[in-house]
Structure 1
Amino acid sequence: MFYGASNIIFENAKRLRNNVTEAENLLWQVISNKQLGLKFRRQHPISCFIADFYCHEAN
């Protein structure tokens, strides 16, 4: 599910989800709950990176 992310990356992503910026919060309000027809995830670990927003359906 997390494409090879280490435990440290996973913990950092969790910390970032709990400390969102105002801009991230505004964007999340628009893209959450499949309002655009796609499901998005916040602060999603991918290998050694953390994507702010990730849509598995769209890759």
Structure 2
Amino acid sequence: MNVSLRPWQVIKVAPFALSSYATPYGHQVIISELLWVWLPGGVLMGILGWHRWRIGDEKRAR
């Protein structure tokens, strides 16, 4: 039964058993998490780190 208030499900639900990650659905879950959680988080952290580094250079130049 698929109960959802939205017409889509962005992040797949992770299986509870560790052995379930070796199934095709488990692979879909891992890929979904990489695309929707880790990739945007990494991009955001990269932008924030670059911004802090740039601000640090401006402070040292004064």
Larger Rg: 2
Q: TM over 0.5, yes or no?
A: no
Q: TM-score, normalised by structure 2?
A: 0.24
Q: Which has the higher helix share?
A: 2
Q: Which has the higher contact order (CA 8 A, sep 6+)?
A: 1
Q: Which has the higher strand share?
A: 1
